[in-house]
Structure 1
Amino acid sequence: MSIGEPGQGTAACLAVEGELTIYRAAELKPALLDAVRASAAPALDLSAVTEFDSAGLQLLLVARREAQRLGKPLHVAGTSPAVREVFTLLGIDFEGAPA
């Protein structure tokens, strides 16, 4: 997982690589929430996610809820086939998620 440098101090993109599953949820949660809190316009790049399960989805929903609480948009800059499959299966429309 990597966090891109904020552009002009306002936007940051958090790139998640590898699994976004129950096995990494506890590890990823603090970094994800910190990125949401630190940026005026946080974005998630999920294009390198290889596995995605319900724990990963819950983590994204927690991040979206935190962004909403702070009055910020949370955008998804890219999705992998694994992420798109779960979004489609569950009928989830994550703001900014490419089709």
Structure 2
Amino acid sequence: MAWIVLIASAVLEAVWATALGMSQGFRRLVPTVVFAVAMTVSMAGLAYAMTSLPTGTAYAVWVGIGAVLTVLIAAARGQERLTPLRAALLAGLIGCVVGLKAVS
């Protein structure tokens, strides 16, 4: 159960990071509210997952998934280019996250 909560929290990390960028320094209401809600729920989920998973592993998985999804969202929105090298590096990051899960 902790792994499912952790992965959901990592997805919400990508949501709040994207919303933060869209908030234009907290000047836009809707992205600011999305940021605040997603961040609160994401942190709560991370905290819950850390009650039964090693802190370092949980945090690395949370950050890794969140970072990859944030880049993919930005690429899908046309804000960043997803070059073959960047895609390979992101795949390597996901491989490391899967590896951490496998050895935990």
Which structure's residues are more often strand, by fraction? 1
RCO higher in 1 or 2 (8 Å CA, sep ≥ 6)?
Answer: 2
Could you state the TM-score of these two structures normalised by the residue count of structure 2? 0.33
Could you state the TM-score of these two structures normalised by the residue count of structure 1? 0.34
Which structure's residues are more often helix, by fraction? 2
